[in-house]
Structure 1
Amino acid sequence: MSAVTVTGFKDDEDSHPIITERRGNVTGFRRVTKGLVAIDTYGNEFKVPDFSIKDILSAIPKQCYERYWYKGMSYIFRDIFFAVLFGYAASVLIPQVPNQLLRGFLWFAQAVLISLPYTGMWVMAHECGHQAFSPYGSLNDTVGWILHSYLLVPYFSWKYSHGKHHKATGHMTREMVFVPATKKEFLDSRGVLHLSDIAIDAPISTLYDILVRQLGGWWAHLLVNASGQKYPGYSGLQVSHFTPSSPIFEKGEYWFIVLSDIGIVCQLFVLYQWISHFGTFSFFVYWFLPYIFTNHWLVFITYLQHTDMTLPHYEDKEWNFARGAGSTIDRKFGFIGPFFFHDIIETHVLHHYVSRIPFYNARIGSKAIQKVMGEHYRSTDKSMWKSLWEASRYCEFVDGDNGVLMFRNHNGLGVKPID
């Protein structure tokens, strides 16, 4: 049975509903302009979609909504098994390598390997936050709180802010993460009035920006809401995901944020005990380095799900849920994406339309909605590493004059911004 119920539909040709996921129903409508067209960063015509959320939901087979707690647990146990396997194999084999430099490289490699199932556990906690893990809310939140706390993620804090992200994807003033700068905001950040006053960024500058985002972006987002929505009058730490009174959250969520913080404190105590009993080196190679790479994978995945030269953002007057959810893109990441990352990369568009569909049913649902979306469905087979570089060079800010904003840059790449 569908977890999202469509009620009170006014199905005229230019009205669409807004989904309120927490209640699982449709609560209102937004009137938008039909037949809108924009030009993407490459210079291609982007036709703004006009299908309704009802069209999308009607296409998804009912079996996609079935959630089985034991199936979800089996994937968690599989992730834990591989994390332990990689760590155990490293502890047995690497010390036997005589060359110190090679041993260092192998410890680095095993940290990358452990980060793959760690990221899988992160994704399963994310499923819990969306109630896609099982039909039982208390089980979902317990499992999600444990998994996310292990990875120093404030579970409920992230659950609530991420839920708002899903309700306003692609909305310039309500989106919660990877909110792009407008042209004016970009110029203000550089302290100039015209793009011509800014030197083109050298590739080395782009590489620096990528490294900063990949290695520190996740913690910056949690601590001071970096890349999130602006809250005038609040300092960085006041909008932190660790602050129960942050404007990110509703008043009724206060004690759940406290519970999230308690989870972090518990995990810090676990890590202290780890170091005390097994030493700093064990902590460093089996938890800390994999944790750093896990954060990298998280930013790598989410940045590229919402940043691409073909994706739009919308001003309030032209946004609705169907358009916003469609302003995401599916990518492919070889064997790692489906096996270790639980298809979060390959079926993300569907996930934004109905986040309670468990990942193991998402392939079927994704194929179904593609028939409705047609040319509006975004996917690419391009290497994600190449996409990361291109998006960082091409997608510096958004610009547009009809309520539909597309990515532009000052590097002379693709379509020039409006003067």
Structure 2
Amino acid sequence: MGNDVNPSFSTSSSDKTKNVSSLSKVRSANGEETKGKAIDGVEKIGDDDEFDPSAPPPFRMAEIRAAIPDHCWVKDPWLSLSYVVRDVLVVFGLVAVAIYFNSWIVWPMYWVAQGTMFWALFVLGHDCGHGSFSDIPKLNSFVGYLIHSSILVPYHGWRISHRTHHQNHGHIEKDESWVPMPEKLYKTLDVSTKFLRFKVPFPMFAYPIYLWSRSPGKQGSHFNPYSELFLPSERKYIVTSTVCWTMMIALLGYLSNTIGPLQMLKLYGIPYLIFVMWLDLVTYLHHHGHEQKLPWYRGKEWSYLRGGLTTVDRDYGLLNNVHHDIGTHVIHHLFPQIPHYHLVEATKAAKPVFGKYYREPKKSGPIPLHLIGYLVRSMQQDHYVSDTGDIVFYQTDSQLYGPPRSKDE
């Protein structure tokens, strides 16, 4: 079955930006043009010597591409398959250990480890969807079906929506993953919806809901071949991946009936929830939670390059290798054809071209606990963007967690 998600994105290299002042003009929430200290309530621009992340970059896609060594573009199917074999062996090894000891001391460690391995498998299926797994479309689809179905992800449904995310990253209306809500839409949400969306840990369980109904303001389902997410020519892929997902549900039901629902909850259910938390944490922090607020674009200000430069790399310590360097995300977003095992080298080669547009990730200890702080702070501050303006930044709803206290309280 063909895999049509290996685009060159060559059109993105036509980043038609001119040598304009680094202090881009945008419209603030009241519709007035702003040039200077604050954009949409975010004080981020001072004098002309300060770096403005929303300014058009002085380089183009072709310059970044030229800086990356040629071998970084080579996809080795045997090497890719070796990572699949490695991860599958670890998954079944963890199951064997958990069943053998069957101890409440071991089970929590199993849940965390197995949920992390489910996430690692997801990343390999993600590579299949991009075509960075191999140059063989049928192999990509076959492995993608097996991996993603095993962790209850509709392979083609998610693959296509993720392609939309990459092609429109950083675009307020067209992006697909953790898209900021315009103020008008945000104000239509009831208090409980806002609370669940912005109060940790609730947003970390959003992925299954997203698969069924997408984000607020968007319609469609990853399981419905007639969803607006998909073209008519893609419907057959959605039917197939939904059938595979359904077969996995049936298998889980059969196993639950055979070994008992409690045992299946321990072996599969709780690790699945850990996997979902990993997925939501990592994908959110790829595009949010940086120390300085990052721009989002509309209209003529958006380009593939400028949108991709709003992506953030993250360091996951010992887990970098476990989940296949998915934290090395800027280069991946600009060039999703590069295999995961070349991302670190490609990033190192491209950094001199990026200059200040590359944000060096904070070095992690063995376990990336520092990322929890970034997540919580971002959820507390990044709530909506202005309805107007082609370059906007997240704003904060000061009433979200209750009315602000006076100084006397």
TM norm structure 2: 0.82
- 1:296, distance to aligned residue in structure 2 (A): 0.8
The verdict on how the C-alpha distance between 1:58 and 1:412 changes in structure 2, with shifts beyond 3 A counting, is: farther
Query: Partner residue of 1:8?
Result: none
Task: Specify which of 248, 267, 272 is matched with residue 248 of structure 2.
Answer: 267
> In structure 2, what is the Cα distance between the partners aligned to 1:162 and 1:35?
34
Alignment RMSD, CA only? 2.5
Query: Partner residue of 1:327?
Result: 310
Task: Specify which of 226, 230, 239 is matched with residue 215 of structure 2.
Answer: 226
Query: Partner residue of 1:56?
Result: 64
Runs of 4+ residues deviating >6 angstroms: none
Cα deviations by residue, 1:181-205 (Å, 9 ceiling, x for unpaired): 12333234369xxxxxxxxx9xxx5
The gaps in structure 2 that reach 5 residues or longer are 25-37, 46-51, 364-369, 401-409
Q: Is residue 278 from structure 1 mapped to residue 259 from structure 2 by the alignment?
A: yes
> In structure 1, what is the Cα distance between the partners aligned to 2:15 and 2:388?
20
What secondary structure, in the 3-state scheme, does the structure 2 residue paired with 1:398 have? coil
Equivalent residues in 2 for 1:296-375, closer than 5 Å: 296-308=277-289, 309-336=292-319, 338-345=320-327, 347-375=328-356
What secondary structure, in the 3-state scheme, does the structure 2 residue paired with 1:35 have? coil
> In structure 2, what is the Cα distance between the partners aligned to 1:37 and 1:86?
54
Task: Specify which of 252, 255, 262 is matched with residue 233 of structure 2.
Answer: 252
Equivalent residues in 2 for 1:14-413, closer than 5 Å: 22-24=6-8, 26-27=10-11, 29=14, 31-32=16-17, 34-37=20-23, 43-45=43-45, 46-47=52-53, 48-50=55-57, 51-95=59-103, 103=104, 106-189=106-189, 209-215=199-205, 217-227=206-216, 230-231=217-218, 236=219, 239-308=220-289, 309-336=292-319, 338-345=320-327, 347-381=328-362, 383-399=370-386, 403-411=390-398
> In structure 2, what is the Cα distance between the partners aligned to 1:25 and 1:394?
33
> In structure 2, what is the Cα distance between the partners aligned to 1:42 and 1:314?
15
CA contact (8 A) 1:157 1:241 kept: yes
Cα deviations by residue, 1:276-317 (Å, 9 ceiling, x for unpaired): 332223211111111111011000000110113432110111
CA contact (8 A) 2:122 2:147 kept: yes
- 1:412, distance to aligned residue in structure 2 (A): 9.1
> In structure 1, what is the Cα distance between the partners aligned to 2:64 and 2:308?
11
CA contact (8 A) 2:42 2:393 kept: no
Cα deviations by residue, 1:2-56 (Å, 9 ceiling, x for unpaired): xxxxxxxxxxxxxxxxxx9744263474544633436588733333242211122
Aligned identity (percent) is 26
> In structure 1, what is the Cα distance between the partners aligned to 2:306 and 2:229?
23
AA aligned opposite 1:74: S
Cα deviations by residue, 1:335-381 (Å, 9 ceiling, x for unpaired): 11x12211101x10000110011111111111122111110112331
What secondary structure, in the 3-state scheme, does the structure 2 residue paired with 1:189 have? coil
Query: Partner residue of 2:406?
Result: none
The verdict on how the C-alpha distance between 1:208 and 1:361 changes in structure 2, with shifts beyond 3 A counting, is: closer
Q: Which structure is higher in strand share?
A: 1
What secondary structure, in the 3-state scheme, does the structure 2 residue paired with 1:37 have? coil
The 10-residue stretch of structure 1 (126-135 or 107-116) with the greater mean CA deviation from structure 2: 107-116
> In structure 1, what is the Cα distance between the partners aligned to 2:269 and 2:339?
29
The verdict on how the C-alpha distance between 1:412 and 1:373 changes in structure 2, with shifts beyond 3 A counting, is: farther
- 1:331, distance to aligned residue in structure 2 (A): 0.9
Cα deviations by residue, 1:95-124 (Å, 9 ceiling, x for unpaired): 4xxxxxxx2x64233111111111110100
> In structure 1, what is the Cα distance between the partners aligned to 2:354 and 2:317?
25
Q: Tell me the matched-pair count.
A: 363
> In structure 1, what is the Cα distance between the partners aligned to 2:130 and 2:229?
18
The gaps in structure 1 that reach 5 residues or longer are 1-19, 96-102, 192-200, 414-419
What secondary structure, in the 3-state scheme, does the structure 2 residue paired with 1:327 have? coil
CA contact (8 A) 1:206 1:392 kept: no
> In structure 1, what is the Cα distance between the partners aligned to 2:7 and 2:121?
26
Query: Partner residue of 1:11?
Result: none
CA contact (8 A) 1:172 1:313 kept: yes
> In structure 2, what is the Cα distance between the partners aligned to 1:331 and 1:66?
24
AA aligned opposite 1:327: T
What secondary structure, in the 3-state scheme, does the structure 2 residue paired with 1:82 have? helix
